[in-house]
Amino acid sequence: MANLQSTILQLLTGMKFTILIFCLTLLFSLPLGLLVAKGRMSGNRIVSGIIRVYISIMRGTPLMLQLLIVYFGPWYIFKIPLRDLTIGDLDYRFVATIIGFTINYAAYFAEIFRGGIQSMPLGQYEAAQVLGFSKSQTFFRIILPQVIKRVLPPVTNEVITLVKDTSLAQVLAVSEMFIAAKSLASAQVSVVPFVVAGVFYYIMNGIIEIGMNKLELKLRYYS
């Protein structure tokens, strides 16, 4: 019993990192995704072409590989020694994890946003234009609020996937929950730490599901 208690405590310590990776990734990748979507729809062919390639690579290669490349890149490209590399007070391993997750998720979010933006009827833009709204006012006041409602279900999908994907941070030895579960499991020669970790992931996603459902209901005041 004492064993289980310490397992839970150690997993909760790892969970702090899991939640931190999750929150920071969302914080950066959602706005970046919007920007990428805008770039993807840009009339400038060079911009939209570059963004298209970026999205294709992000979606077409494993996230784990992307994390490794972001982490080892500075060494292989610039010969910057990675041991003890920090950015500010942050361990570069952690920074690389956040960068890797952010650029990967931004690509997925961008495509979701693009779908939402392109599904908006032209009439909304025309009504706004005739009323004198500027392009940015039209986007932020008229279009984006309606797009958010439309993209909520696919965004929820990605957010839930992100919770599970945080476990990939283990390849950079970031001490998140999965790595904690692995070392506990091998120390105890038991599958219990994995089961407990699974329950924790499931609880996190349960909370997200409830929250996103609430948000969807809140936006149901119009159709």
What minimum distance in Å lies between the beta carbon of 210 and other proteins? 24
Q: Whole-angstrom Cα distance, residue 63 to residue 59?
A: 8
For the bound state, the minimum distance from the C-beta of residue 155 to other proteins, rounded and expressed in Å, comes to 17
DSSP one-letter string for 88-148: TTEEHHHHHHHHHHHHHHHHHHHHHHHHHHHTS-HHHHHHHHHTT--HHHIIIIIIHHHHH
| Distance from C-alpha of 131 to C-alpha of 138, rounded to nearest angstrom | 10
Residue closer to other proteins, measured from CB, 137 or 161 = 137
Nearest distance, CB of residue 40 and other proteins, angstroms: 24
* Residue closer to other proteins (CB basis): 54 or 133: 133
> Minimum distance between the CB of residue 44 and other proteins, rounded to whole angstroms?
20
CB of 43 to other proteins, least distance (A): 16
CB neighbourhood size of 103 (10 A) = 20
Measure the CA–CA gap between 44 and 212, rounded to whole angstroms. Answer: 35
User: Of 118 and 129, which CB lies nearer to other proteins in the complex structure?
Assistant: 129
Would you say 5 or 136 has its CB closer to other proteins? 136
Q: Give me the least distance between CB of 126 and other proteins, in Å please.
A: 6
DSSP-assigned letters across all residues of 34-70: HHHHHHHT-S-HHHHHHHHHHHHHHHHS-HHHHHHHH
User: Are the CB atoms for 25 and 94 separated by under 8 Å?
Assistant: no
Residues in contact with other proteins by the rule CB under 8 A: 121, 123-124, 126-134, 137, 141-142, 145-146, 149, 221-223
Q: Which residues contact 146 (CB under 8 A, 6 or more apart)?
A: 120, 124
Complex with other proteins: residue 78 or 222, whichever CB lies closer: 222
* Closer Cβ to other proteins, 72 or 140, answer by number: 140
